[in-house]
Amino acid sequence: MPYKLTVNGQPATVDVPEDTPLLWVVRDVLGLHGTKYGCGMALCGCCTVHINGEAARSCTTSIARAAGKHITTLEGLSENGTHPVQVAWQEIDVPQCGYCQAGQMMSASALLAKNPHPTDADIDAAMDGNICRCGTYLRIRKAIHKAAEIAAKQTKEPAAAVHS
């Protein structure tokens, strides 16, 4: 049956069985490939998206549960990679293979939206559901602090941020 949802600010209607995971709707129906499949059991976090602003694992969220909600994927974080988390990830040169990083950035951006100045302990708690098989954890921690700094600067100087 058809389900309506909002993905990255755009309304979408998808006609898939009710148990179809949001992950496969996003990837194979809507063609947004940033969100990754890693385990299918909410264990690795590489399918992380925001559902109404909360970080959620799309591989175990059925379309029936996602219907009517606002979904943000990595592609919706910014138009051209200018979200503070993306800028920080580039500056710190976080990725090795890069496969988990969409999920890492979605968890990190959800954290920063609620907690603009997270401590190391806050970061550990928020990021524990995201596996990085290459082991970029030290850079992820560093990049989240960096993103917090960048975001703080943008809040102070909003005009500069838009044009940077």
Partner 1 sequence: METTLVSRRSFLRASVIAGGGMMLAYYIEPMEKVLAAQFGPPVTLLPASFITIAPDGVITIIAKNPEIGQGVKVMLPMLIAEELDADWKDVRIEQGDLNPAKYGLQIAGGSTATPINWEPMRQLGAQCRQMLIGSAAQTWNVPESECTTTASRVHHVASKRSATYGELASKAATMPVPDPKTLKMKDPKDYRFIGHSMANPDIKKILTGKPVFGIDFTMPGMLYANYEKCPVFGGKVVSANLDEVKAQPGIRHAFVVEPSGDPSALVGGVAIVADSWYQARHARDNVLKVVWDEGPTAAQSSELYATTSVEMSKNDPGQTLRKDGDADAAFGTAAHVVEAAYSYPFLSHVPLEPMNCSAYFKDGKLEVWAPSQTPASGVGQTAKTLGIDQKDITLHLTRMGGGFGRRLTNDYMVEVAVIAKQIGVPVKLLWTREQDMAHDFYRPAGFHFLKGGVDADGKLVAWRNHFVTFGEKGRFAQSAGLSGEEFPSRFVPNFSQLSSMMPSGVPMGAMRAPGSNAIAFVMQSFIDELAHAAGKDPVQFRLDMLANEPLPSAAPPPGTPVAFAPVPFDAARMRGVLTTVAERSGWGKTKLPKDTAMGVAFHFSHRGYFAEVAEVSVTGGTNVKVHKAWVVGDIGSVGGINPTAAENISQGAVIEAMSHAMGYEIVIDKGRAVQSNFHQYPPLRLTQAPREIDIFFVKTDNPPTGLGEPALPPMIPAITNAMFAVTGKRIRSLPLSTQGYSWA
Binding residues for partner 1, per CB under 8 A?
16-17, 19-21, 24, 28-29, 31-41, 43-44, 46, 73-75, 78, 80-81, 86, 89-90, 93, 95-102, 105, 120, 123-125, 127-128, 130-141
Between 77 and 154, name the residue whose CB sits nearer to partner 1. 77
Between 113 and 129, name the residue whose CB sits nearer to partner 1. 129
DSSP secondary structure string for all residues of 52-79: TTEEEEGGG-BHHHHTTSEEE-GGGT-S
The Cα-based distances of 101 to 12, 15, 46, 93 in angstroms read 25, 29, 7, 11
**Closest separation in Å from C-beta 73 to partner 1:** 7
**Closest separation in Å from C-beta 27 to partner 1:** 8
**Closest separation in Å from C-beta 138 to partner 1:** 6
C-alpha 110, offset from chain centre: 7
Between 54 and 93, name the residue whose CB sits nearer to partner 1. 93
CA dist 127 and 140 (Å) reads 9
Between 27 and 69, name the residue whose CB sits nearer to partner 1. 27
Q: Which residue has the tokens 């974080």?
A: 77
Q: Report which secondary-structure segment, H or E, holds 92.
A: helix 84-92
